[in-house]
Amino acid sequence: MSDSLLRVESLNCYFAGLRAVAELSFDVQPGEIKAVIGPNGAGKSTLFNMIAGVTRPTSGEIWFDGSRIDNLPTFRRARLGIARTFQNLQIFREMTVLENVMVGRHMQGQSSVMGALLYTPALRAENRAMTETALDLLARFELDTKAQVLAGDLSFGQMKVLELARALASKPRLLLLDEPAAGLPQAEAEHIGQIITALNRDGMTVLLVEHNMRMVMSLSHDILVLNNGLRIAEGDADHVRRHPDVLAAYLGDAEYA
Ligand SMILES: Nc1ncnc2c1ncn2[C@@H]1O[C@H](COP(=O)(O)OP(=O)(O)OP(=O)(O)O)[C@@H](O)[C@H]1O
């Protein structure tokens, strides 16, 4: 569809003959929360990495807001408005919480290299504005009281929230969330789910990979199910939950109860 924010077309990824993603096509519409699920080894991370620009597709196309992006380096995709979080947190533990968010915010900074070297008034003003925006973000996630705390001293759940805040600091249009609930007890997973839902209500488009089925089923508008690199189902929670191929793929998987 032409009004998609993200379009994946006939995407393939082979690793030395092993098919990780095969002939995969799908759309993400602006304003939707779409989840990608599937058993271990289904190809979810490979797909995510191809969209973020970490893994090069063997063939196929990826389009973002009308532009083809599969040949662009990661930072160009980020500048176009794609932000991501990582399954294994990538927090700077020796930096403060505020500094971690500022790192994300600097992606959008406009000052020139010369301006940065001379620390011009324009850069000072930009930095001030960035700090305020970062503090606003932290307040939104109830982390403002921790702004000056070292990120490494946060609880695991707070680090997950911080990573989300940092991704948002670049003011993305598409948020790629790689297992945002991984490693969290259900109550904290629900808190993350509420944050994602609130962001989406404010207009954020989200594509997430997640094993926590309760979270996926409760917040996704659309769910894409992969198995062995292939799409086996796509649709809303009710459709996916009842799909015979999905049930067969997850047979014996305790997480999908
Ligand atoms: N860099 C790589 N080199 C070789 N094979 C890889 C590489 N990355 C992934 N694979 C293989 O591709 C297939 C898909 O893996 P992928 O990590 O994308 O699955 P996944 O759905 O994310 O699994 P999980 O839920 O366990 O994270 C697997 O068979 C995996 O072993």
pLDDT tens digits, 75-115: 999 999 999 998 888 899 999 999 999 987 665 545 555 55
212 lines ligand 1 (CB under 6 A): no
Q: Whose CA is nearest to atom 25 of ligand 1?
A: 40
Round to whole Å and give the CA distance between 117 and 112: 9
What domains are defined for the chain?
1-81+172-257 (3.40.50.300), 93-166 (no CATH)
pLDDT surpassing 80 at residue 23:
yes
Q: Whose CA is nearest to atom 5 of ligand 1?
A: 15
What's the distance, CA 32 to chain centroid? 13
Q: What is the ipTM of this complex?
A: 0.95
pLDDT tens digits, 140-180: 999 999 999 999 999 999 999 999 999 999 899 999 999 99
Centre of ligand 1 from the C-alpha of residue 239, in Å: 26
Atom of ligand 1 nearest to the CA of 39: 25
225 lines ligand 1 (CB under 6 A): no
Largest interatomic CA distance in the chain: 63
Atom of ligand 1 nearest to the CA of 46: 18
Centre of ligand 1 from the C-alpha of residue 223, in Å: 20
Mean pLDDT calculated for residue range 171-193: 94
| pTM of the predicted protein model | 0.89
Helix then strand then coil, in percent of the chain rounded to 5, is 40, 25, 35
- Please report, rounded to a whole number, the percentage of residues in the chain having pLDDT higher than 70: 91
Mean pLDDT calculated for residue range 116-142: 83
Mean pLDDT calculated for residue range 222-228: 96
